[in-house]
Structure 1
Amino acid sequence: MTDRVAGARHLIFDLDGTLVDSAPDLATALNGLLAEMGKPALTEGTVRSLVGDGAGVLVERGLAASGLGDADRPAALKRFLALYRDCLIDQTRAYPEVEATLELLRAQGHKLGVCTNKPFDPTQRILKALKLDRFFGAVIGGDSLPQRKPDPEPLLAAIAGVGGAVSSAVMIGDSANDVLCARAASVTAILIPSDYGNPAEDADLKLSRFSELPAAIARL
């Protein structure tokens, strides 16, 4: 049995690029949309560079990258979300070490939540399909509130959702949005860089592997 750490924390995680690699399915949906509009597919690497600010911004960036900046964005977003629903968990997987690390963190007494710019419904479906939903006491999606990261309100809502306080909270993510959001909320930021877009330059702590989290949090 793992000993519980003194001073348990309230840990809020980003989703895409932090807990799961969803870029292949996002690319499938975005390229399906572009194909319907008569445009060639973007590479998966290009799509990865566009992810991080929610579905609407991903579609906007994808349209712009394909020379479709003047397209009907609301209609394109609606169609993208329909296509994405059909391939949501075809290739999306949790990163290695995520499930075991979450198990350890929970066993140590930490309370866990999710704060992502991905819409709430696909977020919940992905977490459930990957059997990660059991770890999280609160999930805030990009459409759960009027604001999105890097605004602090979604993070503050996730902290409240797990019964925490700013003083005991930690934001764990892979992008500048996560770090900026944490700073705006006066919350400690831990960065685990990925190959998704909008990289951060610094954070309170920067790790190279997800499995380093328990030891890093114990040092806070």
Structure 2
Amino acid sequence: MMTAVIFDLDGTLIDSAPAIHAVSNAELVARGFAPLTLDQVRSFVGRGVPHLVRCLLETSGENADGPLHGEICATLIERYETQLEGNHFYPGVRAALDQLRDHGHRLAICTNKPYGPAEAVLFHLGILDLFDVVIGGDSLPTRKPEPAMLHAAHERLGGGPMIYVGDSEIDAETAANAGAPFALYTEGYRKSDVHDLRHQVAFSEFEMLPAIVANWHWGA
């Protein structure tokens, strides 16, 4: 049975934290702030650029919603589209995506990263053409954990059986809000214990994913 397989991006298909850390620190230092650690910046990832910038400013002792917020959001998005070094696949991702496509499954991305940077990094890594649909955090009026993004991707893929693949608390909440089965990749950016996140299946290696999709018991 052909399935709509919808993926989160950061922390699921790619480890983008090093790249986000680099561009965030470049922006902070350019504005006279101290650089932050990789672990600090990684903990801010997942809710979109506005949330990231609020965290950067708050940690730097600035008003999180002051006049700098909009300025830094705009310049970070510009940096994201061109400063792409530091983004890399998790092990086994490319092979799993190719296998899913070869088996006829339809693939989409739903990410809170803005559409432009998401498209740029997918192109940079050579996998943009594997996805029939890419929806970014600025593509719709709402972003995850609201369910509209998943519903839109599912509809654009033609409906039918669907599974959402993500790594975080936000992804688990999004799947629950959308009424979608959730496959949790355990090696991403989550902060909670695996058992504390709502999911139907968890996996630690992408080599496992094609079999998970193939053997999923829809409606069970």
With the length of structure 1 as denominator, give the TM-score of the two structures.
Answer: 0.90
Q: How does 1:180-199 map to 2 (within 5 A)?
A: 180-196=173-189, 199=192
Displacement of 1:57 after TM fit? 0.7
User: Mean alpha-carbon deviation: is it higher for 78-87 or for 48-57?
Assistant: 78-87
Are 2:127 and 1:164 aligned?
no
Residue deviations 1:60-119 (CA, integer Å, cap 9, x gap) = 1111111113542111211222333341x1121122211100111111121111000000
Residues 120, 141 of structure 1: 8 Å contact kept: yes
CA distance in 2, matches of 1:35, 1:219: 49
Amino acid aligned to 1:144: S
Task: Give the one of 177, 201, 214 matched to 2:210.
Answer: 214
The number of residues matched between the two structures is 211
CA distance in 2, matches of 1:28, 1:45: 12
2:85 paired residue number: 90
CA distance in 2, matches of 1:194, 1:56: 25
Amino acid aligned to 1:25: A
1:56 paired residue number: 50
Q: How does 1:4-23 map to 2 (within 5 A)?
A: 7-23=1-17
CA distance in 2, matches of 1:156, 1:102: 21
2:146 paired residue number: 151
Percent of residue pairs identical: 37
Gaps of 5+ in 1: 1-6
Q: How does 1:18-97 map to 2 (within 5 A)?
A: 18-70=12-64, 71-72=66-67, 73-87=69-83, 89-97=84-92
Amino acid aligned to 2:213: I
Amino acid aligned to 2:78: A
Task: Give the one of 99, 108, 120 matched to 1:104.
Answer: 99
1:4 paired residue number: none
CA distance in 2, matches of 1:218, 1:86: 37
Displacement of 1:197 after TM fit? 5.2
Residues 12, 188 of structure 2: 8 Å contact kept: no
Gaps of 5+ in 2: none
Are 2:122 and 1:127 aligned?
yes
Residues 49, 195 of structure 1: 8 Å contact kept: no
Displacement of 1:182 after TM fit? 1.2
Residues 51, 197 of structure 1: 8 Å contact kept: no
Residues 27, 47 of structure 1: 8 Å contact kept: yes
CA distance in 1, matches of 2:30, 2:120: 26
Amino acid aligned to 1:219: N
Residues 113, 137 of structure 2: 8 Å contact kept: yes
Displacement of 1:198 after TM fit? 5.3
With the length of structure 2 as denominator, give the TM-score of the two structures.
Answer: 0.90
Residues 14, 178 of structure 1: 8 Å contact kept: yes
